[in-house]
Chain A
Protein backbone atom coordinates (compact mmCIF):
# COMPACT_ATOMS: atom_id res chain seq x y z
CA UNK A 1 0.00 0.00 0.00
CA UNK A 2 1.27 3.42 -0.94
CA UNK A 3 1.90 5.73 1.98
CA UNK A 4 -0.20 8.91 2.21
CA UNK A 5 2.84 10.97 3.13
CA UNK A 6 6.41 9.97 2.39
CA UNK A 7 9.12 12.23 3.78
CA UNK A 8 12.58 11.34 2.53
CA UNK A 9 15.85 12.76 3.87
CA UNK A 10 14.24 16.14 4.55
CA UNK A 11 16.49 18.99 5.62
CA UNK A 12 15.99 22.68 6.38
CA UNK A 13 18.75 25.17 7.05
CA UNK A 14 18.43 28.84 7.97
CA UNK A 15 21.82 30.23 6.97
CA UNK A 16 24.24 28.23 9.11
CA UNK A 17 21.55 26.96 11.48
CA UNK A 18 20.46 23.41 10.79
CA UNK A 19 16.82 23.11 11.90
CA UNK A 20 16.05 19.78 10.23
CA UNK A 21 18.44 17.20 8.79
CA UNK A 22 17.97 13.81 7.18
CA UNK A 23 14.43 13.26 8.42
CA UNK A 24 12.59 10.32 6.83
CA UNK A 25 9.27 8.80 7.83
CA UNK A 26 6.00 7.61 6.36
CA UNK A 27 2.41 8.00 7.26
CA UNK A 28 -0.42 5.88 5.91
CA UNK A 29 -4.04 6.85 5.34
CA UNK A 30 -6.06 7.40 8.51
CA UNK A 31 -3.04 6.95 10.77
CA UNK A 32 -2.33 9.09 13.83
CA UNK A 33 1.35 9.87 14.14
CA UNK A 34 2.79 11.75 17.10
CA UNK A 35 5.78 13.99 16.56
CA UNK A 36 7.60 14.68 19.81
CA UNK A 37 10.93 16.04 20.96
CA UNK A 38 12.41 18.57 23.37
CA UNK A 39 12.02 22.31 22.78
CA UNK A 40 13.95 23.45 19.73
CA UNK A 41 14.11 19.94 18.26
CA UNK A 42 12.78 21.21 14.92
CA UNK A 43 9.18 19.99 15.12
CA UNK A 44 7.56 23.24 14.03
CA UNK A 45 10.11 23.69 11.24
CA UNK A 46 9.21 20.24 9.95
CA UNK A 47 5.54 21.22 10.09
CA UNK A 48 6.20 24.38 8.15
CA UNK A 49 8.00 22.37 5.46
CA UNK A 50 5.15 19.86 5.22
CA UNK A 51 2.50 22.59 5.00
CA UNK A 52 4.48 24.48 2.36
CA UNK A 53 5.39 27.47 4.53
CA UNK A 54 9.14 26.78 4.15
CA UNK A 55 10.72 25.30 1.05
CA UNK A 56 12.95 22.41 2.23
CA UNK A 57 16.70 22.83 1.71
CA UNK A 58 17.08 19.17 0.77
CA UNK A 59 15.13 15.96 0.50
CA UNK A 60 11.66 15.31 -0.89
CA UNK A 61 8.06 15.20 0.27
CA UNK A 62 5.61 12.94 -1.55
CA UNK A 63 1.90 13.28 -0.81
CA UNK A 64 -0.57 10.78 -2.31
CA UNK A 65 2.12 9.75 -4.77
CA UNK A 66 2.86 13.29 -6.00
CA UNK A 67 6.16 15.05 -5.41
CA UNK A 68 5.03 18.16 -3.51
CA UNK A 69 8.47 19.38 -2.42
CA UNK A 70 8.51 23.19 -2.49
CA UNK A 71 4.77 23.61 -3.07
CA UNK A 72 3.18 26.77 -1.59
CA UNK A 73 0.63 26.50 1.26
CA UNK A 74 -2.45 27.08 -0.94
CA UNK A 75 -1.35 24.25 -3.25
CA UNK A 76 -0.79 21.96 -0.27
CA UNK A 77 -4.25 22.85 1.04
CA UNK A 78 -5.84 22.07 -2.31
CA UNK A 79 -4.11 18.67 -2.40
CA UNK A 80 -5.37 17.86 1.08
CA UNK A 81 -2.89 18.98 3.75
CA UNK A 82 -4.40 21.24 6.41
CA UNK A 83 -2.78 22.64 9.53
CA UNK A 84 -3.34 24.46 12.78
CA UNK A 85 -0.91 26.92 14.34
CA UNK A 86 1.01 26.67 17.59
CA UNK A 87 -0.03 30.22 18.44
CA UNK A 88 -3.66 30.45 17.35
CA UNK A 89 -4.30 32.53 14.26
CA UNK A 90 -8.03 33.00 14.15
CA UNK A 91 -9.63 35.71 12.01
CA UNK A 92 -10.40 38.03 14.90
CA UNK A 93 -12.80 40.37 13.06
CA UNK A 94 -15.03 37.49 11.97
CA UNK A 95 -17.62 35.35 13.70
CA UNK A 96 -16.90 31.70 14.50
CA UNK A 97 -18.98 30.61 11.50
CA UNK A 98 -17.25 33.04 9.12
CA UNK A 99 -13.84 31.77 10.25
CA UNK A 100 -14.74 28.24 9.20
CA UNK A 101 -16.41 29.44 5.98
CA UNK A 102 -13.04 30.71 4.77
CA UNK A 103 -11.96 27.06 5.03
CA UNK A 104 -14.97 25.53 3.29
CA UNK A 105 -14.65 28.07 0.47
CA UNK A 106 -11.57 26.19 -0.76
CA UNK A 107 -13.95 23.57 -2.20
CA UNK A 108 -17.27 25.43 -2.22
CA UNK A 109 -17.15 29.02 -3.50
CA UNK A 110 -20.91 29.59 -3.23
CA UNK A 111 -21.68 31.25 0.09
CA UNK A 112 -24.81 29.29 1.13
CA UNK A 113 -23.08 25.95 0.48
CA UNK A 114 -19.92 27.09 2.27
CA UNK A 115 -22.07 28.18 5.21
CA UNK A 116 -23.87 24.84 5.41
CA UNK A 117 -20.59 22.88 5.35
CA UNK A 118 -19.06 25.20 7.94
CA UNK A 119 -22.00 24.53 10.29
CA UNK A 120 -21.34 20.79 9.95
CA UNK A 121 -17.64 21.20 10.73
CA UNK A 122 -18.42 23.34 13.80
CA UNK A 123 -21.02 20.88 15.02
CA UNK A 124 -18.48 18.08 14.61
CA UNK A 125 -15.92 19.99 16.70
CA UNK A 126 -18.41 20.76 19.45
CA UNK A 127 -18.71 24.46 18.68
CA UNK A 128 -22.27 24.27 17.36
CA UNK A 129 -23.51 26.58 20.10
CA UNK A 130 -20.93 29.27 19.41
CA UNK A 131 -21.59 29.88 15.71
CA UNK A 132 -22.67 33.53 15.81
CA UNK A 133 -20.12 34.71 18.40
CA UNK A 134 -17.18 36.90 17.39
CA UNK A 135 -14.26 34.47 17.22
CA UNK A 136 -12.20 36.71 19.50
CA UNK A 137 -14.70 36.08 22.34
CA UNK A 138 -13.94 32.34 22.52
CA UNK A 139 -11.79 30.83 25.25
CA UNK A 140 -8.30 29.63 24.28
CA UNK A 141 -9.46 26.00 24.28
CA UNK A 142 -12.37 26.94 22.01
CA UNK A 143 -10.11 28.96 19.71
CA UNK A 144 -7.90 25.89 19.33
CA UNK A 145 -10.93 23.82 18.40
CA UNK A 146 -12.03 26.55 16.00
CA UNK A 147 -8.68 26.20 14.24
CA UNK A 148 -9.24 22.45 13.96
CA UNK A 149 -12.74 23.02 12.57
CA UNK A 150 -11.38 25.53 10.08
CA UNK A 151 -8.67 23.12 8.94
CA UNK A 152 -11.18 20.26 8.64
CA UNK A 153 -13.38 22.55 6.56
CA UNK A 154 -10.85 22.33 3.72
CA UNK A 155 -11.63 18.56 3.55
CA UNK A 156 -8.04 17.39 4.08
CA UNK A 157 -6.57 13.90 3.87
CA UNK A 158 -3.88 14.86 6.35
CA UNK A 159 -4.27 17.18 9.31
CA UNK A 160 -1.19 18.74 10.91
CA UNK A 161 -1.94 19.68 14.52
CA UNK A 162 0.65 21.89 16.20
CA UNK A 163 0.35 21.64 20.00
CA UNK A 164 -3.43 21.79 20.08
CA UNK A 165 -3.44 20.59 23.68
CA UNK A 166 -0.91 23.01 25.15
CA UNK A 167 -2.25 24.95 28.11
CA UNK A 168 -5.50 22.99 28.34
CA UNK A 169 -6.94 21.57 31.58
CA UNK A 170 -6.98 17.78 31.83
CA UNK A 171 -10.70 17.57 31.06
CA UNK A 172 -10.12 19.77 28.00
CA UNK A 173 -7.28 17.44 26.98
CA UNK A 174 -9.72 14.51 27.16
CA UNK A 175 -12.12 16.41 24.90
CA UNK A 176 -9.32 17.09 22.43
CA UNK A 177 -8.38 13.39 22.45
CA UNK A 178 -11.99 12.45 21.70
CA UNK A 179 -12.07 14.95 18.85
CA UNK A 180 -8.87 13.59 17.26
CA UNK A 181 -10.23 10.03 17.46
CA UNK A 182 -13.44 11.19 15.80
CA UNK A 183 -11.37 12.81 13.06
CA UNK A 184 -9.55 9.52 12.54
CA UNK A 185 -12.82 7.62 12.07
CA UNK A 186 -13.50 9.95 9.13
CA UNK A 187 -10.41 8.52 7.43
CA UNK A 188 -8.29 11.62 7.98
CA UNK A 189 -4.69 11.05 9.02
CA UNK A 190 -3.21 13.26 11.73
CA UNK A 191 0.36 14.29 12.36
CA UNK A 192 0.44 15.76 15.85
CA UNK A 193 3.16 17.82 17.50
CA UNK A 194 2.52 17.54 21.19
CA UNK A 195 4.19 18.08 24.54
CA UNK A 196 1.23 16.77 26.51
CA UNK A 197 2.19 13.09 26.71
CA UNK A 198 -1.04 11.89 28.35
CA UNK A 199 -2.78 13.41 25.34
CA UNK A 200 -0.70 11.90 22.57
CA UNK A 201 0.49 8.51 23.91
CA UNK A 202 -2.92 6.79 24.11
CA UNK A 203 -4.05 7.76 20.61
CA UNK A 204 -0.93 7.63 18.46
CA UNK A 205 -0.46 4.61 16.19
CA UNK A 206 3.11 5.59 15.63
CA UNK A 207 5.60 8.04 17.11
CA UNK A 208 8.49 9.97 15.59
CA UNK A 209 11.00 11.56 17.94
CA UNK A 210 13.20 14.50 16.95
CA UNK A 211 16.19 15.95 18.76
CA UNK A 212 18.55 18.65 17.48
CA UNK A 213 16.79 18.56 14.11
CA UNK A 214 17.32 14.84 13.53
CA UNK A 215 15.08 11.82 13.93
CA UNK A 216 16.42 9.85 16.89
CA UNK A 217 13.70 7.23 17.23
CA UNK A 218 10.53 5.89 15.67
CA UNK A 219 8.02 3.22 16.74
CA UNK A 220 4.85 2.53 18.71
CA UNK A 221 4.24 4.65 21.82
CA UNK A 222 5.19 1.67 24.00
CA UNK A 223 8.50 1.19 22.19
CA UNK A 224 9.26 4.89 22.32
CA UNK A 225 8.68 5.18 26.05
CA UNK A 226 11.38 2.52 26.63
CA UNK A 227 13.83 3.77 24.00
CA UNK A 228 17.11 4.76 25.68
CA UNK A 229 17.89 7.51 23.13
CA UNK A 230 14.50 9.13 23.78
CA UNK A 231 14.90 8.95 27.54
CA UNK A 232 18.35 10.49 27.21
CA UNK A 233 17.03 13.33 25.06
CA UNK A 234 14.25 14.17 27.51
CA UNK A 235 15.98 13.55 30.83
CA UNK A 236 19.59 14.27 29.90
CA UNK A 237 22.39 11.81 30.35
Chain B
Protein backbone atom coordinates (compact mmCIF):
# COMPACT_ATOMS: atom_id res chain seq x y z
CA UNK B 1 0.00 0.00 0.00
CA UNK B 2 2.58 2.51 1.21
CA UNK B 3 5.03 1.41 -1.47
CA UNK B 4 2.40 1.69 -4.20
CA UNK B 5 1.39 5.19 -3.14
CA UNK B 6 5.05 6.21 -2.98
CA UNK B 7 5.73 4.84 -6.45
CA UNK B 8 2.72 6.70 -7.81
CA UNK B 9 3.99 9.92 -6.26
CA UNK B 10 7.46 9.42 -7.74
CA UNK B 11 5.96 8.84 -11.20
CA UNK B 12 3.73 11.91 -10.86
CA UNK B 13 6.68 14.08 -9.80
CA UNK B 14 8.78 12.76 -12.68
CA UNK B 15 5.98 13.40 -15.19
CA UNK B 16 5.48 16.92 -13.86
CA UNK B 17 9.23 17.56 -14.09
CA UNK B 18 9.21 16.34 -17.70
CA UNK B 19 6.24 18.51 -18.76
CA UNK B 20 7.21 21.65 -16.82
CA UNK B 21 9.81 23.05 -19.27
CA UNK B 22 7.34 22.69 -22.14
CA UNK B 23 4.99 25.10 -20.39
CA UNK B 24 7.80 27.53 -19.58
CA UNK B 25 8.87 28.90 -22.95
CA UNK B 26 11.02 31.82 -21.85
CA UNK B 27 14.68 30.64 -22.18
CA UNK B 28 15.63 32.66 -19.10
CA UNK B 29 13.05 30.85 -17.02
CA UNK B 30 14.12 27.53 -18.50
CA UNK B 31 17.68 28.33 -17.49
CA UNK B 32 16.43 29.03 -13.99
CA UNK B 33 14.83 25.57 -13.85
CA UNK B 34 18.09 23.99 -15.06
CA UNK B 35 19.99 25.78 -12.28
CA UNK B 36 17.57 24.38 -9.71
CA UNK B 37 18.10 20.84 -11.01
CA UNK B 38 21.88 21.31 -11.18
CA UNK B 39 22.28 22.54 -7.61
CA UNK B 40 19.82 19.92 -6.39
CA UNK B 41 22.00 17.27 -8.04
CA UNK B 42 25.30 18.42 -6.52
CA UNK B 43 23.47 18.94 -3.20
CA UNK B 44 22.30 15.32 -3.22
CA UNK B 45 25.88 14.26 -4.02
CA UNK B 46 27.24 16.42 -1.17
CA UNK B 47 24.62 14.99 1.19
CA UNK B 48 26.05 11.47 0.94
CA UNK B 49 29.24 12.58 2.68
CA UNK B 50 28.10 15.68 4.58
CA UNK B 51 24.57 14.66 5.53
CA UNK B 52 24.59 10.89 5.93
CA UNK B 53 28.18 10.28 7.06
CA UNK B 54 28.33 13.65 8.87
CA UNK B 55 31.65 14.77 7.36
CA UNK B 56 30.95 18.39 6.44
CA UNK B 57 33.03 19.26 3.40
CA UNK B 58 33.43 22.86 2.35
CA UNK B 59 35.71 21.96 -0.54
CA UNK B 60 33.42 20.10 -2.89
CA UNK B 61 34.13 22.66 -5.64
CA UNK B 62 37.42 20.75 -6.08
CA UNK B 63 35.46 17.67 -7.22
CA UNK B 64 33.08 19.76 -9.32
CA UNK B 65 36.08 21.44 -10.97
CA UNK B 66 37.86 18.16 -11.62
CA UNK B 67 34.76 16.91 -13.40
CA UNK B 68 34.45 20.07 -15.48
CA UNK B 69 38.15 20.22 -16.40
CA UNK B 70 38.57 16.47 -17.08
CA UNK B 71 35.74 16.23 -19.61
CA UNK B 72 36.62 19.56 -21.24
CA UNK B 73 40.37 18.86 -21.56
CA UNK B 74 39.68 15.39 -22.94
CA UNK B 75 37.25 16.88 -25.43
CA UNK B 76 39.67 19.58 -26.59
CA UNK B 77 42.83 17.47 -26.80
CA UNK B 78 41.60 13.96 -27.54
CA UNK B 79 38.18 14.69 -28.99
CA UNK B 80 36.59 12.39 -26.44
CA UNK B 81 32.80 12.57 -26.25
CA UNK B 82 31.73 14.54 -23.16
CA UNK B 83 29.40 11.68 -22.26
CA UNK B 84 32.40 9.44 -21.71
CA UNK B 85 34.48 12.38 -20.44
CA UNK B 86 31.87 12.90 -17.76
CA UNK B 87 32.34 9.35 -16.48
CA UNK B 88 36.13 9.65 -16.67
CA UNK B 89 35.86 12.90 -14.70
CA UNK B 90 33.79 11.13 -12.08
CA UNK B 91 36.36 8.37 -11.71
CA UNK B 92 39.31 10.81 -11.60
CA UNK B 93 37.47 12.85 -9.00
CA UNK B 94 36.71 9.78 -6.86
CA UNK B 95 40.37 8.74 -7.00
CA UNK B 96 41.44 12.26 -6.04
CA UNK B 97 38.89 12.27 -3.20
CA UNK B 98 40.31 9.04 -1.76
CA UNK B 99 43.82 10.48 -2.02
CA UNK B 100 43.00 13.68 -0.12
CA UNK B 101 40.49 11.93 2.15
CA UNK B 102 43.22 9.70 3.55
CA UNK B 103 45.02 12.53 5.40
CA UNK B 104 41.97 14.79 5.86
CA UNK B 105 39.93 12.13 7.69
CA UNK B 106 42.56 12.07 10.41
CA UNK B 107 40.95 15.36 11.39
CA UNK B 108 37.56 15.45 13.02
CA UNK B 109 34.61 17.84 12.93
CA UNK B 110 35.44 21.46 12.14
CA UNK B 111 39.08 20.61 11.53
CA UNK B 112 38.07 18.29 8.71
CA UNK B 113 35.92 21.04 7.18
CA UNK B 114 38.83 23.47 7.36
CA UNK B 115 41.12 20.99 5.63
CA UNK B 116 38.63 20.60 2.79
CA UNK B 117 38.53 24.38 2.32
CA UNK B 118 42.32 24.36 2.06
CA UNK B 119 42.31 21.57 -0.53
CA UNK B 120 39.80 23.43 -2.72
CA UNK B 121 41.71 26.71 -2.40
CA UNK B 122 44.96 25.01 -3.40
CA UNK B 123 43.21 23.48 -6.41
CA UNK B 124 41.92 26.89 -7.47
CA UNK B 125 45.38 28.48 -7.21
CA UNK B 126 46.96 25.57 -9.07
CA UNK B 127 44.49 25.68 -11.94
CA UNK B 128 44.74 29.48 -12.15
CA UNK B 129 48.48 29.14 -12.76
CA UNK B 130 48.40 25.99 -14.88
CA UNK B 131 48.74 27.23 -18.49
CA UNK B 132 48.15 23.72 -19.89
CA UNK B 133 44.50 23.92 -18.85
CA UNK B 134 43.96 27.55 -19.80
CA UNK B 135 45.22 29.11 -16.57
CA UNK B 136 43.25 32.12 -15.38
CA UNK B 137 41.76 32.60 -18.87
CA UNK B 138 39.85 29.36 -18.74
CA UNK B 139 38.72 26.91 -21.42
CA UNK B 140 36.08 27.09 -24.14
CA UNK B 141 34.17 23.97 -25.11
CA UNK B 142 34.60 23.51 -28.91
CA UNK B 143 31.44 24.28 -30.83
CA UNK B 144 32.13 22.55 -34.16
CA UNK B 145 29.76 19.74 -33.32
CA UNK B 146 26.30 20.17 -31.92
CA UNK B 147 23.47 17.93 -30.87
CA UNK B 148 23.06 15.03 -28.48
CA UNK B 149 26.27 13.28 -29.42
CA UNK B 150 28.41 16.31 -28.56
CA UNK B 151 26.16 17.44 -25.65
CA UNK B 152 26.17 20.96 -27.09
CA UNK B 153 22.87 22.68 -27.83
CA UNK B 154 22.76 26.22 -29.18
CA UNK B 155 19.20 26.62 -30.30
CA UNK B 156 17.28 25.34 -27.29
CA UNK B 157 17.78 24.96 -23.55
CA UNK B 158 15.40 22.01 -23.35
CA UNK B 159 17.99 19.23 -23.89
CA UNK B 160 20.09 20.64 -21.03
CA UNK B 161 17.04 20.58 -18.84
CA UNK B 162 16.43 16.90 -19.53
CA UNK B 163 20.09 15.98 -19.04
CA UNK B 164 20.10 17.81 -15.69
CA UNK B 165 16.89 16.03 -14.73
CA UNK B 166 18.35 12.63 -15.67
CA UNK B 167 21.52 13.39 -13.68
CA UNK B 168 19.47 14.38 -10.66
CA UNK B 169 17.35 11.23 -10.96
CA UNK B 170 20.47 9.05 -11.25
CA UNK B 171 22.09 10.71 -8.23
CA UNK B 172 18.91 10.37 -6.17
CA UNK B 173 18.67 6.72 -7.17
CA UNK B 174 22.28 6.08 -6.12
CA UNK B 175 21.72 7.91 -2.84
CA UNK B 176 18.57 5.91 -2.22
CA UNK B 177 20.39 2.63 -2.89
CA UNK B 178 23.22 3.64 -0.53
CA UNK B 179 20.74 4.69 2.14
CA UNK B 180 19.02 1.32 2.07
CA UNK B 181 22.16 -0.80 2.02
CA UNK B 182 24.49 -1.51 4.93
CA UNK B 183 26.52 1.52 3.83
CA UNK B 184 23.66 3.84 4.80
CA UNK B 185 23.54 2.33 8.29
CA UNK B 186 27.32 2.53 8.65
CA UNK B 187 27.40 6.17 7.51
CA UNK B 188 24.75 7.18 10.04
CA UNK B 189 26.49 5.18 12.78
CA UNK B 190 29.75 7.01 12.01
CA UNK B 191 27.90 10.33 12.21
CA UNK B 192 26.08 9.52 15.48
CA UNK B 193 28.76 7.78 17.55
CA UNK B 194 32.05 7.05 15.79
CA UNK B 195 33.59 5.22 18.78
CA UNK B 196 30.60 2.91 19.12
CA UNK B 197 30.68 2.25 15.38
CA UNK B 198 34.34 1.21 15.63
CA UNK B 199 33.55 -1.18 18.46
CA UNK B 200 31.01 -2.87 16.17
CA UNK B 201 33.57 -3.49 13.46
CA UNK B 202 33.10 -0.35 11.35
CA UNK B 203 36.43 0.96 10.10
CA UNK B 204 35.98 4.73 10.17
CA UNK B 205 38.64 5.49 7.56
CA UNK B 206 37.45 2.86 5.12
CA UNK B 207 33.80 3.88 5.16
CA UNK B 208 34.48 7.62 5.18
CA UNK B 209 36.57 7.01 2.06
CA UNK B 210 33.71 5.07 0.49
CA UNK B 211 31.38 7.99 1.27
CA UNK B 212 33.70 10.64 -0.15
CA UNK B 213 34.37 8.54 -3.29
CA UNK B 214 30.65 8.18 -4.08
CA UNK B 215 29.96 11.81 -3.20
CA UNK B 216 32.81 13.21 -5.30
CA UNK B 217 31.95 10.96 -8.28
CA UNK B 218 28.47 12.44 -8.58
CA UNK B 219 29.69 15.97 -7.85
CA UNK B 220 32.11 15.65 -10.77
CA UNK B 221 29.28 14.57 -13.09
CA UNK B 222 27.60 17.86 -12.21
CA UNK B 223 30.82 19.69 -13.06
CA UNK B 224 31.06 18.12 -16.51
CA UNK B 225 27.44 18.98 -17.17
CA UNK B 226 28.07 22.58 -16.12
CA UNK B 227 30.96 22.83 -18.62
CA UNK B 228 28.76 21.58 -21.47
CA UNK B 229 25.93 23.91 -20.51
CA UNK B 230 27.99 27.08 -20.09
CA UNK B 231 30.49 26.10 -22.84
CA UNK B 232 33.15 27.91 -20.83
CA UNK B 233 34.94 27.12 -17.57
CA UNK B 234 37.59 28.89 -15.51
CA UNK B 235 38.86 28.45 -11.94
CA UNK B 236 36.67 31.33 -10.78
CA UNK B 237 33.49 29.56 -11.85
CA UNK B 238 34.05 25.85 -11.19
CA UNK B 239 36.65 25.83 -8.39
CA UNK B 240 35.44 28.69 -6.24
CA UNK B 241 34.74 28.38 -2.52
CA UNK B 242 31.34 30.02 -2.89
CA UNK B 243 30.33 27.01 -5.00
CA UNK B 244 31.42 24.66 -2.20
CA UNK B 245 29.41 26.66 0.27
CA UNK B 246 26.34 26.63 -1.94
CA UNK B 247 26.45 22.82 -2.23
CA UNK B 248 26.52 22.56 1.54
CA UNK B 249 23.90 25.26 1.96
CA UNK B 250 21.19 23.79 -0.28
CA UNK B 251 21.51 20.59 1.73
CA UNK B 252 21.59 22.18 5.16
CA UNK B 253 18.62 24.37 4.27
CA UNK B 254 16.64 21.49 2.78
CA UNK B 255 17.58 18.92 5.40
CA UNK B 256 20.84 17.06 5.99
CA UNK B 257 20.66 13.30 5.74
CA UNK B 258 17.29 13.44 3.99
CA UNK B 259 16.97 12.16 0.44
CA UNK B 260 14.93 15.04 -0.99
CA UNK B 261 16.29 17.76 1.30
CA UNK B 262 18.78 19.16 -1.25
CA UNK B 263 16.07 19.31 -3.93
CA UNK B 264 13.83 21.45 -1.74
CA UNK B 265 16.83 23.50 -0.61
CA UNK B 266 17.91 24.16 -4.18
CA UNK B 267 14.43 25.37 -5.20
CA UNK B 268 14.43 27.91 -2.39
CA UNK B 269 18.04 29.03 -2.59
CA UNK B 270 18.25 29.28 -6.38
CA UNK B 271 14.92 31.08 -6.29
CA UNK B 272 16.22 33.63 -3.81
CA UNK B 273 19.32 34.19 -5.94
CA UNK B 274 17.31 34.84 -9.08
CA UNK B 275 14.84 37.14 -7.38
CA UNK B 276 17.55 39.26 -5.75
CA UNK B 277 19.39 39.45 -9.06
CA UNK B 278 16.30 40.71 -10.83
CA UNK B 279 15.16 43.06 -8.10
CA UNK B 280 18.51 44.62 -7.28
CA UNK B 281 20.21 44.08 -10.63
CA UNK B 282 23.88 44.99 -10.94
CA UNK B 283 23.75 47.33 -7.94
CA UNK B 284 22.63 44.50 -5.66
CA UNK B 285 25.84 42.51 -5.84
CA UNK B 286 26.04 40.53 -2.64
CA UNK B 287 22.38 40.86 -1.64
CA UNK B 288 21.99 37.12 -2.11
CA UNK B 289 24.96 36.61 0.23
CA UNK B 290 23.24 38.66 2.93
CA UNK B 291 20.15 36.48 2.48
CA UNK B 292 22.31 33.33 2.62
CA UNK B 293 23.67 34.47 5.96
CA UNK B 294 20.20 35.19 7.28
CA UNK B 295 18.98 31.78 6.15
CA UNK B 296 21.90 30.02 7.83
CA UNK B 297 21.15 31.81 11.10
CA UNK B 298 17.42 31.06 10.96
CA UNK B 299 17.95 27.39 10.05
CA UNK B 300 20.66 26.88 12.67
CA UNK B 301 18.62 28.49 15.45
CA UNK B 302 15.07 27.35 14.71
CA UNK B 303 15.17 24.44 12.27
CA UNK B 304 18.42 22.49 12.61
CA UNK B 305 16.81 19.59 10.69
CA UNK B 306 16.09 21.86 7.69
CA UNK B 307 12.87 22.24 5.75
CA UNK B 308 12.34 18.48 5.48
CA UNK B 309 12.72 18.12 9.24
CA UNK B 310 10.28 20.98 9.75
CA UNK B 311 7.74 19.38 7.38
CA UNK B 312 8.07 16.10 9.25
CA UNK B 313 7.39 17.90 12.54
CA UNK B 314 4.41 19.65 10.99
CA UNK B 315 2.99 16.40 9.67
CA UNK B 316 3.37 14.72 13.03
CA UNK B 317 1.57 17.63 14.67
CA UNK B 318 -1.32 17.50 12.17
CA UNK B 319 -1.69 13.72 12.20
CA UNK B 320 -1.15 13.58 15.94
CA UNK B 321 -4.02 16.04 16.44
CA UNK B 322 -6.25 14.02 14.15
CA UNK B 323 -5.57 10.87 16.13
CA UNK B 324 -6.51 12.57 19.38
CA UNK B 325 -9.92 13.42 17.92
| A residues at B contact (CB < 8 Å) | 51, 53, 72-74, 77-78, 82-83, 85, 89-94, 98, 101-103, 105-106, 109-111, 114, 150-151, 153-154
Question: Are A91 and B199 within 8 A (Cβ)?
Answer: no
In the complex, which residues of chain B have a beta carbon less than 8 angstroms from the beta carbon of A73?
A: 198-199, 201
Question: Are A83 and B199 within 8 A (Cβ)?
Answer: yes
Question: Are A53 and B195 within 8 A (Cβ)?
Answer: yes
In the complex, which residues of chain B have a beta carbon less than 8 angstroms from the beta carbon of A103?
A: 200
Question: Are A91 and B203 within 8 A (Cβ)?
Answer: no
Question: Are B182 and A105 within 8 A (Cβ)?
Answer: yes
Query: For the complex, is B189 an interface residue (Cβ under 8 Å from A)?
Result: yes
Picked from B185, B201, B257, the residue with its CB within 8 Å of the CB of A77 is B201
List residues 144-191 of chain B with CB under 8 A from any CB of chain A. 180-182, 185-186, 188-189, 191
Known: A98-B188, A102-B202. 13 other contacts (CB 8 A): A74-B203, A77-B198, A91-B193, A91-B196, A93-B191, A98-B185, A103-B200, A105-B186, A105-B200, A109-B182, A111-B181, A114-B182, A153-B200
- With both beta carbons as reference points, the residue of chain B lying nearest to A150 in the complex is identified as B200
Q: How far is the CA of A114 from the CA of B195 in the complex (A)?
A: 21
Q: How far is the CA of A109 from the CA of B200 in the complex (A)?
A: 13
Query: For the complex, is B75 an interface residue (Cβ under 8 Å from A)?
Result: no
Question: Are B185 and A89 within 8 A (Cβ)?
Answer: no
Question: Are A102 and B199 within 8 A (Cβ)?
Answer: no
Question: Are B195 and A102 within 8 A (Cβ)?
Answer: no
For the complex of A and B, the 6 pairs showing the least CB-CB separation, nearest first, are A77-B201, A106-B201, A89-B196, A91-B192, A73-B198, A89-B193
- With both beta carbons as reference points, the residue of chain B lying nearest to A82 in the complex is identified as B199
Question: Are A102 and B181 within 8 A (Cβ)?
Answer: no
Q: How far is the CA of A83 from the CA of B199 in the complex (A)?
A: 7
Question: Are B180 and A94 within 8 A (Cβ)?
Answer: no
Question: Are A85 and B195 within 8 A (Cβ)?
Answer: yes
Instruction: Tell me the count of chain B residues lying within 8 A, CB to CB, of chain A.
Output: 20
Query: For the complex, is B295 an interface residue (Cβ under 8 Å from A)?
Result: no
In the complex, which residues of chain A have a beta carbon less than 8 angstroms from the beta carbon of B180?
A: 111
Min Cβ gap B310→A in Å is: 16
Picked from A94, A111, A151, A154, the residue with its CB within 8 Å of the CB of B192 is A94
Query: For the complex, is B74 an interface residue (Cβ under 8 Å from A)?
Result: no
In the complex, which residues of chain A have a beta carbon less than 8 angstroms from the beta carbon of B192?
A: 90-94
Query: For the complex, is B197 an interface residue (Cβ under 8 Å from A)?
Result: yes
Contact flag A72-B195 (CB < 8 Å), given A98-B185, A105-B185: no
Picked from B182, B193, B197, the residue with its CB within 8 Å of the CB of A111 is B182
Question: Are A78 and B182 within 8 A (Cβ)?
Answer: no
Question: Are B196 and A74 within 8 A (Cβ)?
Answer: no
Q: How far is the CA of A98 from the CA of B189 in the complex (A)?
A: 9
Q: How far is the CA of A90 from the CA of B182 in the complex (A)?
A: 18
Min Cβ gap B45→A in Å is: 21
Could you show 21 A-B contacts with beta carbons less than 8 Å apart?
A: A72-B198, A74-B198, A77-B198, A77-B201, A89-B195, A90-B192, A90-B193, A90-B196, A91-B197, A92-B193, A93-B257, A94-B188, A98-B188, A101-B185, A102-B197, A102-B200, A102-B202, A105-B182, A105-B185, A105-B200, A110-B182
Question: Are B201 and A154 within 8 A (Cβ)?
Answer: yes
For A77, A82, A105, A106, the residue with the greatest tally of chain B CB atoms inside 10 Å of its CB is A105
Min Cβ gap B189→A in Å is: 5
Q: How far is the CA of A103 from the CA of B182 in the complex (A)?
A: 11
Min Cβ gap A148→B in Å is: 12
Q: How far is the CA of A110 from the CA of B180 in the complex (A)?
A: 10
Question: Are B185 and A102 within 8 A (Cβ)?
Answer: yes
Contact flag A102-B189 (CB < 8 Å), given A90-B196, A91-B196, A109-B182: yes
Q: How far is the CA of A89 from the CA of B197 in the complex (A)?
A: 9
In the complex, which residues of chain B have a beta carbon less than 8 angstroms from the beta carbon of A74?
A: 198, 201-203
In the complex, which residues of chain B have a beta carbon less than 8 angstroms from the beta carbon of A53?
A: 195, 198-199
Min Cβ gap A156→B in Å is: 10
Q: How far is the CA of A53 from the CA of B181 in the complex (A)?
A: 27
Min Cβ gap B283→A in Å is: 45
In the complex, which residues of chain B have a beta carbon less than 8 angstroms from the beta carbon of A101?
A: 185
In the complex, which residues of chain A have a beta carbon less than 8 angstroms from the beta carbon of B181?
A: 111
